[in-house]
Amino acid sequence: MLEELLQKLQAITADAKSALSAASTPADVEAVKNRTLGRNGAITALSPMMGKLPAEDKKAAGMAFNEAKQGIQAALNEASARINEKKAEEAPAVDVTLPGRAWPFGRKHPISQTIDACCSIFRRMGFIAVSGPELETVWYNFDALNAPANHPSRDPQDTFYLPDGRLLRTQTSPVQIRTMLGSKPPVRIVSPGRCYRRDTPDATHGVHFHQLEGLYIDKDVSLADLRSTILKFAKEYFGTDVKVRMRPHFFPFTEPSVECDFSCVMCGGKGCRVCKNSGWLEIMGAGMVNPAVLRNVGYDPEEVQGFAFGFGLERLTMLKHRINDLRIFSDNDLRFLKQF
């Protein structure tokens, strides 16, 4: 019985060694390994014979098993090393002087860069950037912001409604409502983001666009604070010689409301095609937050006041980089995008 086992082990070992000396690929080596030492290999298949041996033969059998396994393993290693060495010799030499394959750097979209630049300016003035959902309810987008029930912007011709009655936000102001509902004054935030309106796309209108709105609520906030904040922003973004003027306007969200014009950044105020020879550019809507809005979010208008402002980021980017058609922002033309 022992004799038979030893003979079988020797035969398997000899067979494996001769196969390995002829092996020329890693797959050849792997095949020999599998059929000898593998789970269903020949050596493994002999194991049950060990149990049937008389006690005095077990030690010799165990040693023979180990010897066979080690011998085959050594031959496997040797064959692998020989094949790898041969492969290295045959491989063409690497020319380390060849230029590498360059991976192009990605960069941020010009609108994203504008958002970053604006948020950074307002952050230095103590504003925190916050975001909110693009899918909104009528209450957040219109009611809480004091939009009259018959306001034309509520019309399905102007706003995208979902079958369940929700809508794609038409402005980022709902974020202001969400923030005020979730915190006590003082509040000092800016909310940049994507908005949607049903519009016929042309050079200055798109069905989706980006806005940045700001809100500052505290005790004793006045229109003068709004003016100095806007002026500071204008100078930081466009340069120190930019002037700001305010004109009376009407927005349901604010009372009083103003339209903020910046002196034309194209002609310096002398008058050009972009400013229609007026020397001024309409940039943002703003005003003191309507007491009705403050009451909607549970603030006491006798205790706190605040101002809000909002502007389009496409327009700001177009003025800064002298772009005359906003459709190019969503064309995804790399020749355009690579310039930023």
**Residues lying near Zn ion in the complex (CB under 5 A):** 264, 266-267, 272, 275
Classify residue 339 by burial, with Cβ atoms within 10 Å: 0-12, 13-18, 19+: exposed
**Residue written as tokens 């300016």?**
121
The DSSP bridge partners found for residue 251 are: 254
Q: Which residues pair with 215 in a beta bridge?
A: 189, 308
Nearer to Zn ion, 257 or 263 (CB): 263
Q: How far is the CB of 100 from Zn ion (least distance, A)?
A: 48
Among residues 286, 233, 243, the alpha carbon closest in space to that of 264 is found at 243
Nearest CB to Zn ion, comparing residues 32 and 281 = 281
Q: How far apart are CA 16 and CA 35, in angstroms?
A: 9
Q: How far apart are CA 120 and CA 114, in angstroms?
A: 10
Instruction: Compute the least distance from the CB of residue 274 to Zn ion, in Å.
Output: 5
Spatial contact of 5 and 49, defined as CB atoms under 8 Å apart: yes
Closer Cβ to Zn ion, 279 or 301, answer by number: 279
- At a CB cut-off of 8 Å and minimum separation 6, what does 257 contact? 248, 249, 250, 251, 285, 286, 287
Report, in Å, the least distance between residue 266 CB and Zn ion.
4
The whole-angstrom separation of Cα 126 and Cα 44 is 74
Distances (CA, A) of 337 to 115, 202, 203: 16, 20, 18
Dump the DSSP string for 29-93. HHHHHHHHTSTTSHHHHHHHHHHHS-HHHHHHHHHHHHHHHHHHHHHHHHHHHHHHHHHHHHSPP
In whole angstroms, how close is the CB of 121 to Zn ion at the nearest point?
23
Q: How far is the CB of 140 from Zn ion (least distance, A)?
A: 37
- Closer residue to Zn ion (CB): 31 or 266: 266
CA atoms within 13 A on the CB side of 122: 24
- Shortest Å distance, C-beta 242 to Zn ion: 12
Residue at shortest CB range from Zn ion: 264
User: Judged by CB, which is closer to Zn ion: 34, or 324?
Assistant: 324
Cα 4 from Cα 8, distance rounded (Å)? 6
Q: Provide, rounded to whole angstroms, the least separation between the CB of residue 273 and Zn ion.
A: 7
Tell me whether residue 32 or residue 283 sits nearer to Zn ion (CB atom).
283
Q: How far is the CB of 270 from Zn ion (least distance, A)?
A: 7
Indicate the residue among 4 and 241 with the shorter CB distance to Zn ion. Answer: 241
